[in-house]
Amino acid sequence: MDVMTAVLTRRSEHRLVEPAPEDDEFAYLLRAAATAPDHGKLRPWRWILVRGEGRAALGRCFADDCTPESRADQTEAKTRRAPLLATLVFTPATGHRVPEWEQLAATSAMTSSLMLLLHARGFGSIWRTGKFTESARVRRLLGLQQDERLLGWLYIGTPGQAQPQKRRMPDDVTDRISVFTPDLVTS
């Protein structure tokens, strides 16, 4: 699949089933995704792969962190929506000349590249965030350090209902482009 086709046909997939990429295939795709723009090659991120019993433990942690009015069983089931939950952890290099916002941008660029690579290999994904990214319980369960931030999970698997890959029609975004001309600058 060429890059333009991948970009125009990728969708966030809500129904994901087995198979998901194995650890070695995930690592292979991540090596390519890690070539995304990253000033200083800091790689200010890490991934925690959650499968099988790990998903059940994470689901129990989600349920334990529910408010009384929430449905704990439904919350716990969220982690069973895909065979692989790739947990994205932002690990900024603090005090570095590359500002944190730029490190976060690099992390987002890498993640977008990874999602396109997964799609090109026939896998589906969706980047899920939500209140559990801020949960102290979840942070402890996953072993996050004080200076790390949980940016969510890529739910990864095979699309459950194979749909023909319809190309998106790109929006007209020319109103979002301007051309700088120095003669228009006023002192």
- In the chain, the domains with their CATH numbers are 16-161 (3.40.109.10)
98-123 residues labelled b (16+ CB within 10 A) or e (exposed): beeebbbbbbbebbebbbbbbbbeeb
Can you give the pTM of this predicted structure? 0.91
For 27-74, the pLDDT digits (tens) are: 999 999 999 999 999 999 999 999 999 999 999 999 998 877 678 889
Question: How far apart, in Å, are the Cα atoms of 119 and each of 20, 22, 114, 133, 144?
Answer: 11, 15, 9, 25, 28
Structure tokens at 43: 């790689």
pLDDT in tens, the chain (187 residues): 999 999 999 999 999 999 999 999 999 999 999 999 999 999 999 999 999 999 999 999 999 988 776 788 899 999 999 999 999 999 999 999 999 999 999 999 999 999 999 999 999 999 999 999 999 999 999 999 999 999 999 999 999 976 777 888 899 999 999 998 888 666 6
In contact, 20 and 54? CB cutoff 8 Å: no
First to last CA, the chain: 50
CB hemisphere CA count around 147 (13 angstroms): 8
